[in-house]
Amino acid sequence: MYRKCAILTAVAEAYMNVLVIGGAGYIGSHVVKELMKHNHRVTVFDNLSSGLRQNLFKENEFIYGTILIPGDLDAAFAKGFDAFIHLAAFKAAGESMIAPEKYSINNINGTLNILNAAASHDCKRMVFSSSAAVFGEPQYLPIDESHPKHPENYYGYTKLSIEEFMAWYEKLRGLRFAALRYFNAAGYDVDGELSGLEQNPANLLPVIMEVACGMREKLKIFGSDYDTRDGTCIRDYVHVSDLAAAHVKALEYIAEHDESISVNLGSEKGTTVTEMVEAARRITGRPIPADYVARRAGDPASLVATSKYAYEKLGWKAEYSDTDTLVRTTWNAYQKYNRLVKN
């Protein structure tokens, strides 16, 4: 028994050579930083369509390529990796309902290209950035891993489909995966080292900050007639630094236990859109004008997680996901960006 425990500990502590697909993006760059903090060797694969060169660390190799070209992926995986993390996807739920073809090609076809390239080079450890969108309208709250999965938008459908593909590749190709179902990713690097802003953001908090900085005229709040405490949608916002830590814990878990896992990642607290806007006005001191407009197709009224299972299996819980930290770190990143632009 002692020998088995010692072997598992050694596996967990072994440094891995990791390919991070989408590692120049918003979440990806934070994941790369966390991997480096734990002394893993990192190579970033990105087409820079939404990622930024300023999010790359000089210590890491960078491969410019796209997940839509199998040859690009084959050449990358041929370098030899112990594991890979897949964060490359289109993610705007509203857009996915208007342009499903775009999401089919990139999210689904692109992921199949990744899985095939990884399998052909015997890379069998995968961490995948899934989404709470796989669940759809909650049948109960908080949402646990056993909750029925009926996506209300096509983006969520692509994420659920990919989870099913991974399960098949586990059966047929020996893949071991961690599906991390993010709730609403928000915030910026708590250490202030990363400040490459997300390009063309669609998520609430960066859009709020663009209004606060004068980059947009006003904010649109989609729906004010939901059955919530103030009529606007409730979301579980989880700090990107917390999500980054979860990726590393999940990677080390599948390496140690040689088994796949799917977990929900959230703060376990629900915040309305109006509450987030009011917090941003208080912290930034800016008026942040906003218009309430019609509901957006595919938006559930409320999404709040329980992350009990992630704590039990990975030892993970959110540490930086309170509303003020989310807003403050995002505001700091935007202020830093604006200072750089002015200089």
Please list the active-site residues: 155
Q: How far apart are CA 107 and CA 128, in angstroms?
A: 12
Instruction: Check residue 191 and report its DSSP letter.
Output: T
Q: 75 in helix, strand or coil?
A: helix
Pick from 130, 132, 90: which is nearest to 267 by CA?
132
The strands making up 271-272's β-sheet, listed across from edge to edge, are 271-272, 234-235, 302-303
Q: To which residue do tokens 């969520």 refer?
A: 156
Count of H helices and E strands in the chain? 12, 14
How far the first Cα of the chain sits from its last, in Å, is 61
Q: For the chain, how big is the Rg over CA atoms in Å?
A: 20
Cβ neighbors of 79 (< 8 A, separation 6 or more) are 19, 43
Q: How far apart are CA 255 and CA 247, in angstroms?
A: 12
Tokens of residue 229, six digits = 């405490």
Tokens of residue 308, six digits = 């009990």
Q: Is 108 exposed, middle or buried (0-12, 13-18, 19+ CB in 10 A)?
A: middle
